[in-house]
């Protein structure tokens, strides 16, 4: 089985802010995106980065990857750009399986990648997820409207894994919508997507406070304050 990973780095990081997109800040002396790439590379034959070519070439120096392709306005557009690039490879290099990973998740345990790939032997898609621990409330005008039963609730993470041709086709059909994850495309088409154990440490750098937890796991961040 040929496995590829699409590494997403085309976002601007509006919620995080700062001088450059969050996936390029330096955490423990390496760019956030480089941590993610180094975690994925041992498990995949092809790494397809999506985003700014110059910034990615710099952040991924010395690592083996396919030519960078530019992303789109939405995460979904960026995933599709990665899928199209992989689909344009010669037949004997095209992947059977694809992982889609947020470049803003630098602390990616090996066990999570393995679990996703193993589940793809029996499912067309698989995602890492962690159970929701807190009691969940739906709020309305500042007061509790409802307590949401949490027994069956999970928080979805990446890398999400799929049979390549299926994800490619679903993405092409869904062009123009804006989904926050890829599993949703399979769910809507009626495919069973496996839930495998994620990790509480597989944090997506989204807000500045997420940096404190990642610094504890990886090392101090060097934020450009220009
Ligand atoms: N992403 C992308 N292309 C986009 C939007 C997002 O490749 N048009 C990537 C981001 O670079 C990130 C991942 O998708 O690695 C998850 O998205 P998110 O955390 O939402 O990042 P941003 O969209 O950059 O942040 P924000 O939503 O706060 O602007
Ligand atoms: Mg976003």
Q: What pLDDT is recorded for position 5?
A: 98
* pLDDT surpassing 60 at residue 86: yes
CA distances from 212 to 11, 205, 220, 221 (A): 21, 10, 8, 9
Average pLDDT, the chain: 95
Distance between CA atoms of 47 and 60, rounded to whole angstroms? Answer: 11
Q: Which residues contact 4 (CB under 8 A, 6 or more apart)?
A: 44, 45, 46, 47, 48, 86, 95, 97, 98, 99, 164
* Closest-lying ligand 1 atom to the alpha carbon of residue 205: 19
d(CA 61, CA 217): 23
Summarize pLDDT for 8-35 with one digit per residue, the tens: 999 999 999 999 999 999 999 999 999 9
- Establish whether residue 26 lines the binding site of ligand 1, counting it when its CB lies within 6 angstroms of any ligand atom: no
Cα–Cα distance between 223 and 18 in angstroms, integer? Answer: 8
Predicted local confidence at residue 180, as pLDDT: 83
- Which ligand is the nearest neighbour of the Cα of 207? 1
For residue 83, the CA-to-ligand 2 centroid distance in Å is 19
- Percent of the chain topping pLDDT 90: 91
CA of 206 to the centre of ligand 2 (A): 9
Selection from 148, 72, 157, 164 nearest residue 106 by Cα: 157
Residues composing the chain = 226
Ligand 1 contact via 20 beta carbon (within 6 Å): no
How does pLDDT run across 101-155, given as a tens digit for each residue? 999 999 999 999 999 999 999 999 999 999 998 999 999 999 999 999 888 999 9
Q: How confident is the model at residue 226 (pLDDT cuts 50, 70, 90)?
A: very low
pTM of the model: 0.96
pLDDT at 160 over 50: yes
């Amino acid at each position: 089985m040929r496995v590829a990973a699409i590494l997403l780095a085309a976002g601007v990081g509006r919620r995080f802010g700062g001088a450059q997109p969050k996936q390029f800040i330096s955490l423990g002396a390496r760019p956030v995106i480089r941590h993610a790439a180094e975690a994925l590379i041992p498990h995949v034959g092809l790494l397809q980065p999506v985003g700014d070519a110059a910034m990615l070439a710099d952040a991924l120096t010395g690592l083996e990857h396919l030519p960078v392709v530019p992303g789109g306005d939405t995460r979904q557009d960026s995933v599709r750009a990665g899928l199209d690039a992989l689909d344009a490879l010669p037949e004997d290099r095209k992947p059977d399986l694809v992982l889609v990973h947020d470049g803003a998740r630098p602390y990616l345990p090996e066990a999570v990648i393995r679990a996703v790939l193993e589940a793809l032997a029996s499912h067309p898609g698989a995602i890492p997820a962690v159970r929701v621990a807190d009691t969940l409330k739906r709020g309305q005008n500042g007061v509790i409207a409802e307590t949401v039963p949490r027994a069956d609730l999970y928080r979805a993470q990446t890398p999400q894994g799929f049979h390549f041709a299926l994800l490619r086709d679903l993405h092409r059909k869904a062009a123009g919508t804006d989904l926050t994850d890829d599993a949703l495309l399979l769910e809507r088409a009626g495919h069973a997507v496996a839930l495998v154990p994620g990790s509480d440490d597989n944090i997506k750098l989204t807000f500045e406070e997420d940096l404190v937890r990642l610094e504890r796991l990886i090392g101090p961040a060097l934020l450009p304050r220009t």
